[in-house]
Amino acid sequence: MSGGAVKEEGLRDRPRGGPAVSTAKAPRARPPRLRDPRTMRIIRFAILMAFLLVFLMPVYVLLVTSFKPLQEADPSTAWNLPRDWSTQGWSSAWETLRPGLENSVKIAVSASLISAVLGSLNGYVLSKWRFPGADAVFTLFLFGMFIPYQAVMIPLAGMLTDIELVGTIRGLVLTHVVYGIPICTLIFRNYYVTIPDELIEAARVDGAGMLRTYWSIVLPVSGPAFAVTLIWQFTSAWNDFLFAVFLGAPDSWPVTVLLNNTAGSGAVAVQYNQQMASALLASLPTLLVYLLLGRFFMRGLMAGALKG
């Protein structure tokens, strides 16, 4: 085919006496972006705010009702702000719950510290000072996490009776320590696995023994794990009701038992303001613990999850 024939064929679509018409298709307009980052952030923020409002609705009712006088504290007006602000409910709640709050502080603080220290030592030995049968011992520790309270309640009561600790604060502390050791050991063991073995070997070369290595190298970096175990154990001991009722006595009852008694007082007029104030007062210590140690919680909880 000659060059003139190709040229003539290429101009075949051009109208006679007019300019050449291009047959190329025009580019299509792009659809609007459905996943704009700014739009997605606004949607996520709106969803989170909706969940936050739903979560805070009961807290609002508790707070508003606790500051109402007894005459205004009624379920039909639970959403209304008080016409006359009063601290009568808080005063009554403090007088009723004060012995229980003192007992709960003694039980929760003691049980949290003791179980955290024992769990730290167990986790250190099981992760860095291996011995024959270490895996089997660790498995037996884990079994303790899955034993329900009801299964050992009667034997536990008998044991505490034999050692004369039933109905005492020391008996409740011992119970929470024993039940807290498995989860504390698991948390510390997973956390200490992330510590390089070279540090432990260097301490051994320098002549440091087991306790010296723990005190000088391991303990200073154990803050996140201690935060997790302290939050976990403090919350469990503070919110305990079953052990307190079954193994405790009126002199050693924590705040949860007294809080339950305020709801079942059998009075003619239900003191809603006192009950709401009591609920808030009983929940404040755990909230403060989370606010103080919460920034270490997830870091310590997830430590060791990606090891290996």
Q: What are 269-279's pLDDT values in tens digits?
A: 678 888 899 99
Burial label for 193, CB within 10 Å (0-12, 13-18, 19+), is middle
Amino acid at 202: A
Task: Indicate the pTM of the whole model.
Answer: 0.79
pLDDT tier for residue 308 given thresholds of 50, 70 and 90:
very low
Scanning the structure block, which residue is given the tokens 């959403």? 79
Is residue 222 within 8 A of residue 188, CB to CB? The reply is yes
Residue with tokens 């018409």: 21
Region of poorest pLDDT, from 81-85, 216-220, 262-266: 262-266
The CA-atom distances, in angstroms, between 258 and each of 149, 212, 246, 247, 264 are 21, 45, 14, 15, 10
Give the integer Cα–Cα distance in Å for 301 and 173.
Answer: 24
Residue 268: Cβ within 10 Å count: 4
210-234 pLDDT, tens per residue?
A: 889 999 999 998 988 998 899 999 9
SS3 178: helix
Q: Please report the pLDDT score of residue 269 as a whole number.
A: 65
Query: 158 and 171 in contact (C-beta within 8 Å)?
Result: no
Per residue in 158-187, pLDDT tens?
999 999 999 999 999 999 999 999 999 999
Mean pLDDT of 94-122: 95
CA–CA dist 308, 171 (Å, integer): 41
Pick the CATH number of 97-301 from 1.10.3720.10, 3.30.1370.60, 3.40.50.10310, 3.30.300.30: 1.10.3720.10
**pLDDT band at 1; cut points 50, 70, 90:** very low
| 44 vs 32: CA distance, rounded Å | 20
| Token couple for 243 | 């052990």
Please, where are the H alpha helices in 129-222?
134-143, 149-162, 169-192, 197-205, 210-213
Residue 217, burial from CB neighbour count under 10 angstroms (0-12, 13-18, 19+)? middle
pLDDT at 28: 62
* H or E stretch covering 95: helix 88-128
Q: Does 268 score more than 60 pLDDT?
A: no
Report the 10 Å Cβ neighbour count for 48. Answer: 10
Count how many Cα atoms sit within 13 Å of the Cα of residue 103 in the half-sphere of its side chain: 26
**pLDDT tens digits for range 116-134:** 999 999 999 998 887 888 8
